[in-house]
């Protein structure tokens, strides 16, 4: 049962009880009022009849008494008017058939003395017995022996009592039903538009919070009980949201710490592998050379191997140093096309060894940038080497450069697209994190893209990546044009779509 229906039934029951009590009290009061009115009517008829009869008797017009009683008896509600002597014989009556008769035993017992009333609720009548005193004007006819000559009896019906009560009951019942219906309708409207809607909003907000949306709030600024409840609920949800945020931040921090430790361990193993393997090869070359190698071509081969090993170690150490200290570019007017061609030349041997097809338009026409050419070369080399590593069985590599208008101004963009293995969606958000790598141990330190990201950001640019597993990746390096061309603000963080 809904709260609305409970309120309507409860208040309706209270109203019904009040109406019933009022009806009982009104009915009782109405009955007393009707009985009093009937008594007053009987007294009034008796008084009028007494005066009219006394006046007629005083004038000696005894024949007029019967006519007076007859006419008075024709009044509405009057049953009969009788004059009874001291013996109980009916001398005169508005009903001629009663003349000569006698009163009943009960009426005869109260005919003398003061004025008295006899109620007959069975017949719905009231009888008033009023003594007729023996006055001075009566002495001529009746003598002075008796103080009371007889009794004037007036009988009045109270037929309107039951009828009026029924009408009153009918009116009160109908009024009560109409009142209950009106009260129910008003309560329904009040509950719906004043209370129900606010409770519904509170219930919907609770459902949102139950579903996990701790940003939900109840918009209720009222200063009543529901407003206080809404404010308390909002405060509770705010505390829950803060607690959850603290837990999530702590959990995320623990996850980052664990990931960093794992990445650091993997990086340490990779660095050890990157350095240990060249060192082991160089030791073998040194031992062989110390034994004395007379074959000049073989001697040159060992020296070349020593040079390559040292370069490999130097490259690994250089990456660590680049990551350890923030790159501070020395900005000079720089052309992108020569840098891209030089980078492709440096990796040409690896491209040929892997059977990778490479394409780059020769008509690249971009305005000069304010940039550090050595650092940009390091960025493009890192991306190219990653692309080559992603195509161990060959593939295609495409390098393109063009201008693009971004919200913060014109940018020169370099797109490097490979057809390699691609990057898993769960790894995309972390590819620029330090020490993160998807390569096997010894194949990378996880610093290349992180260092490249820092270099590009230092130039006010962005790196974006799009990748699909099994189809390849596209890295976009976007650099703002020189301040002479476009002095625009630095864009936001890299887009990792």
What percent of the chain has a predicted confidence (pLDDT) above 70? 76
Average pLDDT rounded to a whole number, residues 141-157: 70
C-alpha to C-alpha distance for 224 and 218, rounded to whole angstroms:
14
Confidence band (pLDDT; 50, 70, 90) for 262? confident
pTM across the whole model: 0.41
Give residue-wise pLDDT tens across range 23-58. Answer: 677 666 666 666 777 777 777 777 777 777 777 776
pLDDT computed for residue 415 by the predictor? 93
Q: Do domains 3-163 and 327-480 have the same CATH topology?
A: no
pLDDT computed for residue 16 by the predictor? 75
Residues in contact with 346: Cβ distance below 8 Å, sequence separation at least 6, in sequence order = 381
pLDDT computed for residue 497 by the predictor? 37
> How deeply is 376 buried, as exposed, middle or buried, from its count of CB atoms within 10 A (0-12, 13-18, 19+)?
buried
Cα angle, residue 384 at apex, residues 388 and 390 outer, rounded to 5°? 30
Give residue-wise pLDDT tens across range 76-116. Answer: 877 788 887 777 787 777 787 878 787 766 565 554 556 67
φ, ψ at 41 (rounded to 5°): -65, -45
Confidence band (pLDDT; 50, 70, 90) for 364? low
Give residue-wise pLDDT tens across range 282-307. Answer: 888 888 888 887 788 888 888 888 88
pLDDT at 266 over 80: no
Range in 254-268, 341-355, 359-373 with the lowest mean pLDDT: 254-268
- Of residues 140 and 184, the one with the higher pLDDT is 184
Give residue-wise pLDDT tens across range 386-401. Answer: 899 889 888 999 999 9
Average pLDDT rounded to a whole number, residues 10-21: 75
pLDDT at 495 over 50: no
Q: Is the dihedral of CA 367, 370, 374, 375 positive or negative?
A: negative
Give the residue among 418, 433, 397 at the shortest CA–CA distance from 469.
418
Cα angle, residue 278 at apex, residues 272 and 281 outer, rounded to 5°? 130
Question: Which contacts of 492-496 are long-range, i.e. CB under 8 A and separated by 24 or more positions?
Answer: 492/462, 493/462, 494/432, 494/453, 494/462, 494/463, 494/464, 494/465, 495/462, 495/464, 495/465, 496/428, 496/429, 496/431, 496/432, 496/464, 496/465
Does domain 3-163 sit in CATH 3.60.15.10?
A: no
Residues in contact with 286: Cβ distance below 8 Å, sequence separation at least 6, in sequence order = 306
pLDDT computed for residue 462 by the predictor? 92
pLDDT computed for residue 496 by the predictor? 39
Confidence band (pLDDT; 50, 70, 90) for 485? very low
Give the residue among 110, 160, 152 at the shortest CA–CA distance from 131.
152
Give residue-wise pLDDT tens across range 68-86. Answer: 777 777 778 777 888 877 7
pLDDT computed for residue 323 by the predictor? 58
Does domain 327-480 sit in CATH 3.20.20.70?
A: no
**What ranges do the domains of the chain cover?**
3-163, 327-480
pLDDT computed for residue 416 by the predictor? 94
C-alpha to C-alpha distance for 480 and 461, rounded to whole angstroms:
6
Confidence band (pLDDT; 50, 70, 90) for 137? low
pLDDT computed for residue 72 by the predictor? 77
- Ranges of beta strands (E only) in 360-471 are 369-371, 395-406, 409-418, 462-468
Give residue-wise pLDDT tens across range 152-167. Answer: 778 877 755 556 666 7
Count Cβ neighbours within 10 Å for each residue of 309-323 and write b for 16 or more, e otherwise: beebbeebeebeebb
pLDDT computed for residue 494 by the predictor? 41
C-alpha to C-alpha distance for 209 and 239, rounded to whole angstroms:
12
């Amino acid at each position: 049962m809904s709260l609305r229906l409970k309120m309507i039934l409860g208040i309706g029951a209270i109203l019904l009880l009040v109406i019933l009590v009022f009806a009982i009290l009104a009915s009782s009061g109405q009955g007393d009022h009707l009985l009093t009115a009937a008594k007053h009517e009987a007294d009034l008829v008796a008084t009028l009849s007494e005066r009219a009869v006394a006046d007629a008797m005083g004038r000696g017009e005894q024949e007029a008494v019967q006519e007076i009683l007859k006419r008075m008896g024709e009044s509405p509600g009057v049953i009969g008017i009788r004059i009874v002597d001291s013996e109980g014989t009916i001398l005169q009556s508005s009903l001629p058939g009663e003349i000569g008769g006698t009163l009943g035993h009960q009426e005869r017992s109260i005919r003398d003395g003061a004025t008295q009333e006899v109620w007959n609720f069975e017949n719905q009548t009231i009888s008033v017995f009023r003594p007729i005193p023996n006055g001075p004007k009566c002495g001529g006819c009746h003598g002075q022996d008796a103080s009371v000559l007889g009794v004037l009896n007036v009988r009045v019906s109270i037929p309107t009592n039951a009828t009026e009560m029924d009408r009153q009951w009918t009116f009160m019942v109908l009024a009560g039903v109409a009142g209950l219906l009106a009260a129910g309708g008003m309560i329904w409207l009040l509950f719906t538009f004043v209370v129900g809607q606010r409770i519904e909003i509170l219930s919907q907000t609770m459902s949102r919070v139950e579903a996990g949306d701790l940003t939900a709030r109840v918009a209720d600024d009222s200063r009543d009980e529901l407003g206080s409840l809404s404010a308390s609920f909002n405060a509770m949800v705010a505390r829950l949201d803060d607690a959850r945020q603290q837990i999530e931040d702590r959990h995320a921090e623990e996850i980052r710490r664990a990931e960093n430790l794992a990445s650091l361990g993997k990086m340490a193993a990779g660095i050890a592998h990157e350095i240990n393997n060249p060192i082991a090869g160089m030791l073998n070359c040194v031992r062989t050379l110390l034994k004395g190698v007379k074959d000049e071509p073989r001697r040159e081969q060992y020296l070349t191997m020593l040079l390559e090993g040292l370069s490999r170690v130097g490259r690994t150490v250089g990456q660590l140093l680049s990551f350890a200290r923030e790159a501070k570019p020395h900005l000079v007017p720089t052309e992108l096309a020569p840098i891209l061609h030089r980078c492709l030349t440096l990796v040409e041997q690896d491209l040929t060894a892997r059977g990778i097809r490479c394409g780059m338009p020769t008509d690249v026409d971009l305005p000069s940038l304010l940039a550090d050419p050595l650092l940009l070369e390091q960025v493009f080399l890192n991306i190219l080497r990653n692309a080559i590593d992603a195509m161990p069985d060959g593939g295609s590599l495409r390098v393109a450069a063009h201008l693009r208008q971004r919200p913060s101004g014109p940018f020169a963009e370099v797109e490097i697209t490979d057809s390699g293995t691609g990057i898993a969606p769960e790894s995309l958000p972390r590819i620029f994190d330090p020490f993160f790598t998807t390569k096997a141990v010894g194949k990378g330190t996880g610093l290349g893209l992180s260092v490249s990201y820092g270099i590009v950001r230092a130039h006010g640019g962005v790196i974006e990546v799009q990748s699909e597993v099994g189809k390849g990746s596209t890295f976009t390096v976007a650099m703002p044009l020189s301040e002479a061309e476009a002095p625009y603000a630095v864009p936001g963080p890299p887009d990792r779509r």
